[in-house]
Structure 1
Amino acid sequence: MRIGELSARTGASERMLRYYEEQGLLKPERTASGYRVYADADVDRVARIRCMLSASLPSGVVGQALRFLLDGRAAIPDEPADRARLAETLESELDQLTEKIASLQHSRELLATFVADVRGDAVGPGRPGDPGARVVRRSVSKAGPATGRAR
């Protein structure tokens, strides 16, 4: 398939697909006239690339993960010091991802409380069954019927 079809099938823009190629994450074949030709397996590869990059992993780490997940065994350094540095880099990325997940989970909980407040009659923490009861302030104030002021 050509780049336009891969773009349509994956949701990645043609520009992003070219960027993935520049980074060595995607390696299309080329026709004699220079057109990129992608395999069906590249649809899954692009999905994995997008997922890992959206998790804020650097393209170098994504490349190593792809080599391990899709291309066979990843190149692991022979020297213990090099392996230790690689392990430290990967652990740091894992720690940052764990922190980001915790932050996103907290944001999700706050947003869920806000949505519940907007949809319900009771407003703010302290109502029965409120999952955001630990939040000290109200997430939404209801407007009064005549004045439009918050109650």
Structure 2
Amino acid sequence: MRIGELSARTGASVRMLRYYEEQGLLTPVRTESGYRIYQESDVDRVARIRCMLSAALPSGVVGQALRFLLDGRAAIPDEPADRARLADTLQGELDLLTEKIESLRSSRDLLATIVADVRGDVVGPGHPGDPGGGVARRSVRKAGPAVGLAR
């Protein structure tokens, strides 16, 4: 199949498919005139690439995982050293994602407190629903009329 059909079948844009090729994640056959020809198995490959990239894995890690999961047979590596290396790489990425999630959760909680204070015109801690539980902390302090706030 050609790149347009693969794009239609996978939902990945033509531009993204070309990017996957540049990163070594897809290897279409080229015709004499330079057209890319993809195999039926590339539909599943693109789905897996998209899944791993959406999980914030770097393309190099995706390439490693694909080598073990799709290239040849769909299985984990036979060699214990290869399996350990892949598991360590993926665990490192999982740990980074966990840290990012915790950081985002903290940022979200702080922003929610600020929004609640702004909506309630509240100054300081101790108001109903205060996640600080009365800890002396202000998320927003009351001021004069806001000037230049963007909507």
Into which bin does the TM-score normalised by the smaller protein fall? Answer: 0.5 to 0.7
Match in the other structure for 1:76: 77
1:41-52 residue pairs with structure 2 within 5 A?
41=43, 44-45=47-48, 47-52=50-55
Q: Offset at 1:126?
A: 2.4
1:102 maps to 2:105: no
After superposition, the Cα gap between the structure-2 partners of 1:84 and 1:128, relative to the gap in structure 1 and judged at 3 Å, is: same
Unaligned runs of 5+ in 2: none
1:21 maps to 2:21: yes
User: Root-mean-square deviation (CA), in Å?
Assistant: 3.8
4+ residue runs over 6 A deviation: 68-71
Unaligned runs of 5+ in 1: none
Aligned length: 140
After superposition, the Cα gap between the structure-2 partners of 1:87 and 1:69, relative to the gap in structure 1 and judged at 3 Å, is: closer
Match in the other structure for 1:127: 127
After superposition, the Cα gap between the structure-2 partners of 1:44 and 1:91, relative to the gap in structure 1 and judged at 3 Å, is: closer
Cα shift readout 1:69-120 (whole Å, capped 9, x = no counterpart): 7776145152x23332332222222222211111111111112222222322
After superposition, the Cα gap between the structure-2 partners of 1:144 and 1:102, relative to the gap in structure 1 and judged at 3 Å, is: same
TM-score where L is the length of structure 2: 0.62
Judge conservation of contact 2:53–2:59 (CA < 8 Å) in 1: no
Judge conservation of contact 1:67–1:74 (CA < 8 Å) in 2: no
Structure 2 distance, partners of 1:48, 1:13, is 17
TM-score where L is the length of structure 1: 0.62
Secondary structure class of the residue paired with 1:143: coil
Range with greater deviation from structure 2 (126-135 or 65-74): 65-74
Q: Offset at 1:124?
A: 4.4
